[in-house]
Structure 1
Amino acid sequence: MNNQIDLKELRAERGWSRSDMASYFGVDVSTICRWENSGIPSRGMTRKALEREWAVSFSNTRACQE
């Protein structure tokens, strides 16, 4: 069973484009692409903001070292 949280799926559930999500979090679209493909940051404010926004814990997903 796959317990990983899919950031792309969460974004799509909101009906957000990558551009929408980038604007919301104050990052470039390329950053959203990297998060979806390589994993979200392993720590820091961005990770906390993402977890707050979707009321999830990303402990079960890939995390990139950023």
Structure 2
Amino acid sequence: MVPDAVTRSAYKRYGDSSAVTDLKQFADRGHSLVFDSGWRSVADHVLVWLAANGVEAVAAGG
């Protein structure tokens, strides 16, 4: 797990950037997302965030 202070510090470094960023922390989720239980809820959140920021998902194989 990454300590909260480290996560917030990394996020703040983007403050003056033109990059579109957001900070969302998921309690009880490990660093190895693809191996952790609950990965689907995190992936769903990312898809919603991307859509809200004008990025459309591309279907696998498409």
Calculate the TM-score normalised by the size of structure 2. 0.30
Higher strand proportion: 1
Calculate the TM-score normalised by the size of structure 1. 0.29
Higher helix proportion: 1
Query: Quick check: which has more Rg, 1 or 2?
Result: 2
